Amino acid sequence: MQNKKVIFQDLGPMDYQQAWDLQEELLKETVGIKTANRSHPEEALPTTNRLLFVEHPHVYTLGKSGSIENLLLNEAELAAREISFYKINRGGDITYHGPGQIVGYPIFDLANFREDIHWYLRNLEQACINLIAEYGLEGDRIDGLTGVWLGKGTDNPRKILAIGVRCARWVTMHGFAFNVNTDLDLFKNIIPCGIDDKGVTSLEKELGRKMDYQLIKDQLKEHLRRVFEFEWA
């Protein structure tokens, strides 16, 4: 049975490890329901989909396929700048999370939607593309790279949405980071996503003004709902 309802939680500012632990707990719960359903189909229960929004304190995260060489600071320098660092179990390389950035963690059972990870990633990108179009910005995809980019085909391509996910038994975790009022100087301490010939950007930088963070969250929520065609629980 498909359940296309999504529970939304705005976790506000939250430590990275705390949010990671919560995701693991929710994923384990959903996978457990799926396992039980397979063993006892006559008693099958619907699985739950959740969308978590969070704003992390300064942190760098390195995906399982990433290279530590893309972190340009040592332990002492990280400590002096009060920046955390985690090696984590998502795909992708290194990225930064911090204040002014919307981090989204969909814990979706793709069996409720479509069991296709590429479709899932393209939908995350499309929601961002649709949102920034409201502000007159043209977001694009670049072949072979996940995320949403501005300036494709120019000498200044720059990423505004980064994506790194994990999927177990078609249940997703980790997700995306959308730069709203993000301090882009923090990206100078890494080679973002392991790509050294492209930059990063934010809505604030592109539009030349501080953005209404809560408004952007509300708009992003709505675009995700439309693209994935779900209802709020």
Q: How many domains does the chain have?
A: 1
pLDDT band at 197 (very low <50, low <70, confident <90, very high): low
Q: Which domain holds residue 104?
A: 5-232
Q: Which of 62, 165, 171, 193 is catalytic?
A: 193
Q: Is 174 left (phi over 0), alpha (psi -120 to 50) or beta?
A: left
Chain mean pLDDT for the chain:
96
Mean pLDDT of 38-58: 95
State the pLDDT at residue 192: 77
- Please, what's the b/e burial string for 91-122 (b: 16 or more CB within 10 A of its CB; e: otherwise)? bbbbbbbbebbbbbbbbbbbbbbeeeeeebbe
Active site residue 193: yes
Could you read off the pLDDT of 89-126 as tens digits, one per residue? 998 899 999 999 999 999 999 999 999 999 999 999 99
Average pLDDT, stretch 199-218? 98
Task: Provide the CATH number for the domain around residue 100.
Answer: 3.30.930.10
Q: Is the pLDDT of residue 194 over 70?
A: no
Choose between 91 and 183: higher pLDDT.
Answer: 183
What does the pLDDT look like over 61-76, one tens digit per residue?
999 989 999 999 999 9
Q: How many whole angstroms separate alpha carbon 174 and alpha carbon 165?
A: 5
